[in-house]
A and B are shown apart, each in its own frame.
Chain A
Amino acid sequence: MSDNRNDGWHGNDGGNDGRPVQEEELLAYVDGALDAARRHQIDAYLRHHPDVARRVEGYVAQRAQLRAAFAPIAREPVPPELNLSRMLEARRARTGAPWRLAASVFVALCLGGMGGWIGRAATEPAAGGIAALAREATASYQVFASDPVRPVEISASDSADLLKWVSTRLRRPIALPDLAQSGYRYIGGRLVATEHGPAGLFMYDDGHGTRVAMLVRPMATEQNMPMKAHAQAGVAGYSWAAQGLGYSLVAADSTRGLHPLADEMRRQLGEQARKAPPA
């Protein structure tokens, strides 16, 4: 027990050489993350502080119990659906047509299933206008807002990445309205395929299960349009266009306060556009 003698713990309540023991070091002690010298010092400290030692012992036991409890899972054979080489092969087989295309086919199928809108849109003259935007937002909302698995592809914590991605694909700087004041928290978004090219879909939720989504895409026609209300297939929304970008805010038609929310979005987007005019 040379530690005892050398460390000078007797009569010293702090750490070695007056260096006090940090709570963080006790955690690192439990996790085996301390260097040997400091570990010995903490060992010595614990010998003289039985109350702390009991707590640390509890942590050590707890760590061991947790590891033992979950260890069997990592020893299970990996199920076939998680076979990474097979997943890679499957992805490669699909990349003859890039997966974005696969995604657009998926959305198109959903659109088709929801009333043959594609065929209808193709026959309409103002194909890329506000009415089309509203339909696209409605379809995206129906597909994604109710998705129990993955309503958003990129979560709020990576919003900078998402904005960069969407801005690149839309070839326009895209801004994200902050609806916290209105009680809606941004949860994330994704790039979606529409009849008129890629669009950004941004999802918000009120913490009580109500989701609203904003779809944004460049407008080939009707580049500046006043706000229009629409409701279709249980989805209500407000759509408008400003400076070549079309916006549509959509939600389940039972959602209250959608109009002021859309006004607030338009106000913020207008402000952001004034600050940083599109290139």
Chain B
Amino acid sequence: MKDMLHQVEPLIPALRRYARALLREQAAADDLVQDCLEKVITYWDSRRSNDDTRSWVFAILHNLAVTALRRRAGGLGTHVALEDVDEALMASRATQEDALRHRDLMNALDALPADQRSILLLVSVEDMSYADAARVLDIPIGTVMSRLSRAREKLLRIMETGVAGAATKSALRRVK
């Protein structure tokens, strides 16, 4: 268990970041990380010994996030107005222009299909190798590459044309 503390505790900031990037609300994201850590404690001894700890823990978190997002998409959760979320993040932006650019990026990210968003975040933000990302998402590495390729292309296109970026202040966050 000491072993677990040493291996898992350093991952918590990154787990919070991934959860928040997917769910966007701090409270919901931290709840998810808490659920994830409870599972890690429960299943630590039954994980396969050759499993990479980071991929294993992220896979647990990812599956919880997918369930949470599916529930939202099913209309059981509440749709969150963009204004209501992420205030801490917004507040840390230095200038208004920065904040707008940040919002464009978030809108563009939200316009991606969920599976593309995940792979983009795991690789770009969490610095995961393609093999580790494949393990987290439980998909073949070839699928990682093709999804990542589509995600980058699509995000670039959205940012350029500003389709999602043009969403007005009152627009609801797209929840996929």
Contacts and interface: CB of A to CB of B under 8 A. Distances in A.
B105 A148 contact: no
Given A27-B152, A33-B129, A91-B41, A148 B76 contact: yes
A36 interface: no
Contacts of A78: 12-13, 16
A74 B14 contact: yes
A27 B102 CA distance: 23
Interface stretch (A59-67, A105-113, A269-277): A59-67
Interface residues of A, number: 44
A87 B38 contact: yes
B111 interface: no
Interface of A is mostly: helix
Contacts of B14: 74
Nearest to A63: B124
A84 interface: yes
Contacts of B138: 157
A214 B74 CA distance: 21
A77 B51 CA distance: 28
B105 A66 contact: yes
Contact of A73 (B9, B13, B41, B153): B13
A206 B74 CA distance: 11
A171 to B, nearest CB: 18
9 residue pairs, one from A and one from B, having the closest CB atoms: A74-B13, A73-B17, A63-B124, A74-B17, A58-B156, A66-B124, A84-B9, A24-B145, A59-B152
Interface of A: 23-24, 27-28, 30-31, 33, 55, 58-59, 62-63, 65-67, 69-76, 78-79, 81-82, 84-85, 87-88, 91, 99, 148-152, 155, 157-158, 187, 208-209
